[in-house]
Amino acid sequence: MKDEKELIERAQRGEMGAFRELVERYQKTVYFLALDLCGCRQDAEDISQEVFLKAYRFLPNFRGEARLSSWLYRITVNCFMDTRRKTQLQTLSLHNDAPGENHPPELSLPDPGADPSAPARSHELQQLIRRALGRLSPRERSVFVLRHYQELPLKEIGEMLEIAEGTVKALLFRAIKRLQKELAIYQAEV
Amino acid sequence: MTCKECRKRFVEARYGELNAGQRAEFEAHLQGCAACAAEYRRLQQTLRIMDQREQPRLESDFGDAFWDKLAAKLDAEDAPPAPRPPQRETPARVLRMFDWPRASRIAAAAAVLVIGVLIGRYFFSRGGEEIPLAGSRETLLQPTALEVRAGDYLEKSKVLLLGLVNWEAETPEAVALDFPRYQRASRDLLQEAGYLKTALEDSRQRRLRALVADLEVVLLQIANLEAENDLSAIEMVKTGVDRRGILLKINLEEIRRAQSLPRPGQTSGKPSI
C-alpha cells in the first residue's frame, strides 16, 4: 500500500490518479458512515459523493494535522447535517411525528445483495436497528455512530464536531437511553 | 462514589475510556449497588443489539461506478462555464447581477452627502428660524410647545447622527466628512440639550428626558473629537450610538409623538400651542 502522506501530497499538486487512489481507499468507509447517519442508500451515496467533491476542493488546505480519515469523517458529518437541514431527509425522528413523515428508512427494503434465505428474524432486527437509529436526533446519531461504529474516542468526536467532551458524553448517554427505549420490545423477547 | 456519579460514568466505562483508578472505583460501586449494576447491564444489552447491525453488501462495481460519477462531477467543476443563451433582463435578474457591497457603499456615501446638505439647511441656513438656545427665552414654554422643541432637537440630532454612522472612511467612494460643521452643530445641540433637560425635569416625560441625556453624551463626544482623522474616536462614537440604540429610540419617540398628535379635523382636549 502506498504511503498515504505521499498520495495526499501528489493529490494536492493536482495529480488526479493520486486523488483517485485516496477515493478508492476511503469510499466504502465514507459511504457506510453516511449510511449509518442517514439510513438511506440514495442519500448515503449523494452525501459520500459530496464529501469527496469537498475533499477535492479543500485538499490543498489539508495540512495533515489530523488523520485523513478523521478529516473525511468530519466532512461527512457536516454534509449529513447540511443535507438534513436543507432537505429534511425522511428519516425517522422522535421529534417528527407528523403524519406522513414517519417513512421507514429505505434500508428496510430487501437488500439486493442479501442472502434470500436469511432468517426473517435477522431482517426484522436490521429494520429495528435502523429504525431505532432513525429515532435519534442528528447530533445524537452522529455521536453514537462515530463512537460505537467508527470507534473514535470521545475527545476526538468533540474536536470533530466542535463541541465539549462533556457534551459528547451527554449526547451519547441520551442516545443510548433512547435506543434502549426503542429496542425495549426486542429486548423483552430475547 | 454515589449512584449519580456512577451513572455519569456508564458511557466512558462501556467504551473503555476510564483510567485504572476510575475503573476500580466504578466496578467497586457496581459490586455493592444492585440498581446501578442492573442499569449498566441493560445499557450493555442495548449496545449488544446495536452491534448486530449489518451493512449491506455492495455491488461488485461499486468502486468504479462511484468514481465514474465523481469524476464526471469533477470534470463539470473544472470545465469553463458553457455560454448561456441570452436572457431577458428581468428586474429580479438585474438585482441579482448587482454588486451589492459596492452598491451599499455608494448608497452610504450618497446618504452622507444628502445628510450633509440637510445639516447645512437645518443648522446654518435658516436665518431667523434658528433654534433659540438655552437662556434665550425668558420663560419656560408650555408643555406642548416644549414637546415641539424637543421634537425639533431629536430630528436635528438624528440627521447629524445618521450622517456620522453612514460615513465609512475606508471606502473608495467615501466623501469627506465636513467635520467642523458636525462639531458646530453638536455644540449647538448640546446647549439645547442642557435647556431641555431642565425643562423636562418637571414634566412627566422621563423617557424623553433620558433620551435627551443619552444624546447629550454622544454629542459631547462629537464636539470634543480632536481631529477629523481620528478614525478610532469616530468609530467609538458610532459604536456608542449603536450600543445605546439611540437612533431606534429616536424613531420610537417620533412614532409615539406622531400617534399622540391630533389628526387634521380631529378635536382634541389638549390645548393648542
Contact B188, B133 (CB under 8 A): yes
Amino acid at A183: L
Q: Which of A33, A56, A89 is the last residue of a domain?
A: A89
Contact B192, B231 (CB under 8 A): no
pLDDT at A121: 66
pLDDT, one tens digit per residue, over A17-59 is 999 999 999 999 999 999 999 988 899 999 999 999 999 989 8
Is residue A94 included in any domain, yes or no? no
Is residue A95 included in any domain, yes or no? no
Q: What is the DSSP letter of B271?
A: P
Q: What is the DSSP letter of B119?
A: H
Q: Return the percentage of chain A with pLDDT > 70, whole number.
A: 78
Selecting from B42, B52, B70 the residue whose C-beta is nearest the C-beta of A125 gives B52
Distance separating alpha carbons of residues B150 and B147, to the nearest angstrom? 5
Using alpha carbons, list the distances in angstroms from residue B185 to A148, B160, B161. 69, 8, 11
pLDDT at B181: 77
Cβ within 8 Å of residue B201, ≥6 positions away: B209
Note whether B87 contacts A: Cβ–Cβ < 8 A.
no
Residues A113 and A48 in one domain: no
Ranges A82-86, A127-131, A160-164, B13-17, most confident: B13-17
Is residue A96 included in any domain, yes or no? no
Q: Which of A46, A69, A89 is the last residue of a domain?
A: A89
Interface contact flag, A111 B56, Cβ < 8 Å: yes
Number of domains in chain A: 2
Residue among B260, B247, B261 nearest B111 (CA): B247
**CA of A64 to nearest chain B CA: how many angstroms apart?**
23
For residue A16, list chain B residues with Cβ-Cβ distance below 8 A.
74
Interface contact flag, B66 A20, Cβ < 8 Å: no
Residues A112 and A78 in one domain: no
Q: Which of A49, A65, A89 is the last residue of a domain?
A: A89
Average pLDDT rounded to a whole number, residues A90-96: 43
Is residue A181 included in any domain, yes or no? yes
pLDDT at B33: 93
Q: What is the DSSP letter of A148?
A: I
Question: Residue A179's CB: how many other CB atoms inside 10 A?
Answer: 23
Q: Residue A74's domain is classified under what CATH number?
A: 1.10.1740.10
Is residue A171 included in any domain, yes or no? yes
Nearest chain B residue to A20, by CA: B67
pLDDT at B97: 44
pLDDT at B156: 85
**Rounded mean pLDDT for each run of 10 residues along chain B, 273 residues in total:** 90 93 93 93 92 87 91 76 48 45 59 66 53 45 69 84 71 58 82 81 72 83 70 74 79 75 49 36
The alpha-helical segments, DSSP class H, found in B80-205 are: 91-97, 100-119, 143-165, 179-199
What are the sequence ranges of the domains in chain B?
A: 3-51, 99-260
Residues A109 and A175 in one domain: yes
Residues A106 and A188 in one domain: yes
**CA of A92 to nearest chain B CA: how many angstroms apart?**
17
Is residue A145 included in any domain, yes or no? yes
Q: Residue A187's domain is classified under what CATH number?
A: 1.10.10.10
Average pLDDT rounded to a whole number, residues A118-142: 84
What's the domain range around A36?
1-89
Beta strands per DSSP E along chain A? none
Is residue A1 included in any domain, yes or no? yes
Residues A21 and A73 in one domain: yes
pLDDT at B214: 82
pLDDT for residue A100 is more than 50: no
Note whether B73 contacts A: Cβ–Cβ < 8 A.
yes
Cβ within 8 Å of residue A120, ≥6 positions away: none
Distance separating alpha carbons of residues A158 and A156, to the nearest angstrom? 5
**Counting every residue, how long is chain B?**
273
Q: Which three cell numbers stand for residue A22?
A: 485516496
